[in-house]
Amino acid sequence: MQNNSRKTIFTTISIDKETALLVDKICKRYSLKKSEVVKLAFRYLYKAHINPADAPESVKSELSKINKRQDDIIRFIRHYEEEKLNSMIRTSHAITVRFEKVVIELYNLVSSEISSSRDLQSNVLKKVSEKFNEHADVINNHAKQINSLSQTQQRNTKKLLKLISLYSELATVE
pTM of the model: 0.37
Per the DSSP assignment, residues forming a β-bridge with 3 are 8
Three-class SS string for 9-59?
A: ECCCCCCCHHHHHHHHHHHHHHCCCHHHHHHHHHHHHHHCCCCCCCCCCCH
Is residue 1's pLDDT more than 60? Answer: no
Question: 3-state DSSP call for residue 6?
Answer: coil
pLDDT in tens, 31-73: 999 989 999 988 988 887 878 787 666 777 778 888 888 999 9
Average pLDDT of the chain is: 87
Confidence of residue 116 (pLDDT cuts 50, 70, 90): very high
